[in-house]
Structure 1
Amino acid sequence: MNRRPRAHVGAYLAASLLAVVFLLPFYVIARNAFSTQQAVVAPVWRWWPDALNGATVTAVLGDPSLGILPALVTSLVVSTVQTAATLVISLMAGYALARWSTTASRIILGMTVFTLMVPAMVTFIPTFVMVSSLGWISTYRGLIVPVVFSAFATFLFRQGFVDFPQELEEAAALDGANTWTTLWRIVVPNAGSSIAAVGTITFIGAWNAFLWPLLIAQDPQLRTIQVVLSQFMTSQGTRYPEMFTGALIGIIPVLLVFLFLQRWLVQGVEASGLR
């Protein structure tokens, strides 16, 4: 009778330990954001910040030369537009691959899965050359358009639509609905968990992107938050309090998105990707 409670206690202790391990880096970021340069570089572990007055936060947000606020706006625009475009394109592609079982669709599905195995770095140079030839350097089009198609999102939607009850679609067809109407009025309203999962993963990925915005956003006004944070590390040294403050500010939007959609994220992955 006591084995089950003991097992629960062990599971909770293990989960608590893992939570501490995962949350410790965020605590270090918050602690160093409210510390001085000397305290951050000191080779001594500290549990508490030594300058809990918010002066660094005010200085980072109020200094236009750092470009934190424009970078936040750029990251928000790029992440939101990229997420919306990826959702629309991948949803339609995934639905087509799930419903039309032809030789061509199977070949396209195989090619889509194959691209998941190709490292993104391999395609950066040809994609950059193409964007440069189109004159999209330092533009929102260059930041967004080349990365809106996601093989992972398409595959996730496809897996979710495979088990969608086709009786509902057949009933809609009997009422005179075409494929487009069926998709947007029958299928999409019942695919909320998959949409939330893909949207969350895409937004977080777009927000955390570094190398592609670094290559494309040569105009300082179009630099994203990740690129701006890297500028705190120079040959003269690293401005740690400002860098950690910017990182803390940059984490907040992603954290809010994850906290708001975490339940649907888990449901979407369970319903779509784990079959």
Structure 2
Amino acid sequence: MTTTAPQLGKTRRKKRGGVLGNTGLYLATGVAAFLFLVPFYLLVRNALSTDAEITGEHWKFFPTHLQWSNVSDLFDDTSVDFAQSMWNSLVVAVSMTVGILLVCSLAGYALARIPYKHSNKIFYLVLGTLMVPTAVTFVPSFVLVSSLGWVDTYRGLIVPGLFSGFTCFLFRQYFLGFPKELEEAARVDGLGYWGAYWKVVVPNSLNFFAAIATITFISGWNSFLWPLVIGQDPGAWTVQVALSSYMTNQTVVFHQIFMATAISILPLIFVFLFLQRWLVQGIAQTGIKG
């Protein structure tokens, strides 16, 4: 079969369009990557500089002498126990992640699979909690936690955040689309709802669980207002509260702020890199893409 001149012209135009399209895509991706990396560059650059270099008139791409002593200055500061605050944030974020995955996944699975005449009403009540502003429940939550004696404790920081209506909604929607054939096969083998959930549903939903775990961990690590109110003693401060203490009305310690910020994001980077493969696949299954 011979190729006519018009067909050859169309093929060449398609090839040129494809090359130009790929070039534009790479260019746009490079610009976006550059814009995203600039804040990280500024963070590392200022973390390894002196206060004079950070606030000086003459900008340097990188300091002449890297101030690695800023790390020791940060952890030797007696006014703020930064290592303890990092540990507190780790405990809070991990506990909230495990708790929300367990509680919300069980609630979502029950609403999606267990037949109950009031299940839709309960689901609508869960959705209703999403419409209540956080400011409305903040004071009652604090009064309850305070009356239980949980101020300056891990329980006060963790327990109120162990349920999320939005996460429960995401799990329910995901389990509604989960293949019923797998669960029916599990019931043939004698497994009940708990056995099917734990031995069949969870192992086949690790991508989705990883996505929810990543989002929850980042949210728990970055939480500020609730830990600020509950963690009144410096020993109960989380990392975000500790960061705010370096900036007061009297003084601003620039190199400590930047160094503390650089160190505080390391766990988030590690979690993202470790779960990146599952995170991308899991977000595609959450229904919140786009």
Write the distance in 2 (CA, Å) between the matches of 1:103 and 1:27.
56
Aligned to 2:187: 173
Q: Which whole-Å deviations, capped at 9, do the CAs of 1:129-157 have from their partners, x for residues lacking one?
A: 11111111111110000011012221221
Whether 1:99 and 2:98 are equivalent positions in the alignment is: no
Unaligned stretches of 5+ residues in structure 2: 1-14
Partner-residue secondary structure (3-state), 2:240: helix
Q: Are 1:138 and 1:217, in contact at CA under 8 Å, matched by a contact in 2?
A: yes
What is the distance in 2 between the residues matched to 1:100 and 1:225?
Answer: 41
**How big is the shift at 1:46?**
3.7
Partner residue, 2:6: none
Q: Which amino acid aligns with 2:253?
A: R
Alignment deviations for residues 159-181 of structure 1 (CA, whole Å, 9 cap, x no partner): 22111111111111111111111
Share of identical aligned residues, percent?
47
Who is 2:196 aligned against?
182
CA distance in 1, matches of 2:117, 2:281: 31
Which 4+ residue blocks in structure 1 deviate beyond 6 angstroms?
none
Q: CA deviation at 1:266?
A: 1.7
Per-residue Cα deviation, 1:210-245 (whole angstroms, up to 9, x for no partner): 111000001211111110010001121210100110
Q: Deviation at 1:274?
A: 4.0
Residue 198 of structure 1 is matched in structure 2 by 212
Q: Is the 8 A contact 2:49 2:67 kept in 1?
A: no
Higher mean C-alpha deviation, range 84-93 or range 149-158: 149-158
1:150 is aligned to 164
User: What TM-score do the two structures reach when normalised by structure 1?
Assistant: 0.95
TM-score (norm 2): 0.90
Within a 5 Å distance, the mapping from 1:213-228 to structure 2 comes to: 213-228=227-242
Q: Quick one: which amino acid aligns to residue 164 of structure 2? A: S
CA contact (8 A) 1:35 1:49 kept: yes
Please, which of 52, 74, 87 is the counterpart of residue 38 of structure 1?
52
Secondary structure, aligned partner of 2:243: helix
Deviation at 1:122, TM superposition (A): 2.9
Q: Which of residues 240, 252, 267 is equivalent to 2:266?
A: 252
Aligned residues: 275
Question: Does 2:18 correspond to 1:18?
Answer: no
Equivalent residues of 2:50, 2:67 under 8 A apart: no
Aligned with 2:144 (options 123, 130, 134) = 130
Distance in 2, Cα, partners of 1:239 & 1:3: 53
Distance 1:44 1:103 in 2: 71
CA pair 101-24 structure 1, distance change in 2 beyond 3 A: farther
Residue 243 in structure 1 maps to residue 261 in structure 2: no
Which amino acid in structure 2 is aligned with residue 173 of structure 1?
Answer: R
CA distance, structure 1, for counterparts of residue 58 and residue 137 of structure 2: 43
1:261: how far off? Answer: 0.7
Tell me how far apart the structure 2 counterparts of residues 100 and 49 of structure 1 sit (CA, whole Å). 62
Matched, 1:55 2:31: no
1:79 and 1:206 in contact (8 A); partners too: yes
Distance in 2 (alpha carbons) for counterparts of 1:50 and 1:68: 27
Rg (Cα) greater in structure: 2
Specify every segment of 5 or more residues in structure 1 that has no aligned partner in the other structure, as ranges. none
